[in-house]
Amino acid sequence: MKKILLFLLGFMAAVLASAQGDRAFVLATAGEVDAAVADRVRSKIEEMSGATVRLAPPVPLQPGQSLEAIGRAAAQTLGENDQGIIVLAWPDSEQPQGVCLPDVRFGALNMARLSAGVDAAQLERRASQEGLRVLSMLVGMSPCPFPLCVLTGFEKTEDLDRMSGNYCPPCLERFTRLAVAAGIRMVPPPAPDASAEVVPPPAAEAAPESQPAPAAAEPEAVNAVPAAEPAASPVPSE
């Protein structure tokens, strides 16, 4: 039992220590999206997911190109060490809010739709939330039933503003496992104020050992192959 407890305490650290993969997610713009905005969204997604996200050159936008076509074109620029691409697109025609095709390894977000009625900072938050949703789908995750999770279902664009900006703890753990299994290079968590979660409380030593360990210890799940969900869209159209 003590062994399991130690395993639980050290789980995240062990996952991070072993996360020496050299794959990464990619983020690029298409159309009139500011590069500085894209890099801030990239940075936020990387911080919240713990997975490496690199900024790629803008994807050329063709006149009248659909969001899906933009995403497919972006996916063709992926290298062998790229897991998938998030495209922050500003299409020149009416397009859905987002299109994600995990099998084709892209998620394209419609920044024009996401910008409706909000300022630049809020647009970046919405794009980061949608980016985290795309990332989860690119490793084969499903929506989360927990309302305080960025992977929960929603209906309207404005709903994003009331939603969490990050994965709930079980989703983060699952994402980390799947990303590591896929060979993604993980980045260390930046927040020093998160140290409270890293240091086990002194009382843990005296804790009774009669409690069965929760199901969090599923080391075999590291080998799980991400099941792609074809034609899943990260967001509903209004």
Residue 11 or 146: the one with the smaller Cβ distance to Zn ion is: 146
Choice from 135, 144, 180, 186 touching Zn ion (CB under 5 A):
144
Identify the CA nearest to 160 among candidates 102, 116, 101.
Answer: 116
Binding residues for Zn ion, total number by CB under 5 A: 6
* Ramachandran bin of 140, using left for φ above 0, alpha for ψ from -120 to 50, beta for the remaining angles: left
Q: How far is the CB of 136 from Zn ion (least distance, A)?
A: 9
Per CB under 5 A, contacts with Zn ion among 148-187 are 149, 151, 168, 171
Candidate residues 82, 146, 200, 236; the one interacting with Zn ion per rule CB under 5 A:
146
Q: Do residues 25 and 82 make contact, with C-beta atoms less than 8 angstroms apart? A: yes
Hey, which bits of the chain come out as E strands? Answer: 24-31, 53-55, 82-90, 98-101, 106-110
Tell me whether residue 38 or residue 163 sits nearer to Zn ion (CB atom): 163
Interface stretch with Zn ion, choices 24-32, 47-55, 111-119, 138-146 (CB under 5 A): 138-146
CB of 129 to Zn ion, least distance (A): 13
The nearer residue to Zn ion, 6 or 148, going by C-beta atoms, is: 148
CB of 172 to Zn ion, least distance (A): 8
In the complex, least distance from residue 227 CB atom to Zn ion, rounded to whole angstroms: 17
How far is 214 from 30, CA to CA, in rounded Å? 45
State which amino acid sits at residue 64: G
Minimum CB distance to Zn ion, residue 155 (Å): 18
Judged by CB, which is closer to Zn ion: 38, or 172?
172
CB of 167 to Zn ion, least distance (A): 6
Cβ distance to Zn ion smaller for residue 85 or 151: 151
Angle at 233 between CA 112 and CA 72, to 5 degrees: 75
- 168 vs 163: CA distance, rounded Å: 11
What letter would DSSP give residue 193?
G
User: Judged by CB under 5 A, which stretch of 51-59, 60-68, 145-153, 181-189 contacts Zn ion?
Assistant: 145-153
Give the range of 85-93, 124-132, 141-149, 226-234 binding Zn ion by CB under 5 A: 141-149
The strand pairing partners of 55, in sequence order, are 27
Question: Are the C-beta atoms of 85 and 28 separated by less than 8 Å?
Answer: yes
H-assigned helices in 76-119: 111-114
Q: What is the amino acid identity at position 118? A: V
Residues at the contact surface with Zn ion, assessed by CB under 5 A: 144, 146, 149, 151, 168, 171
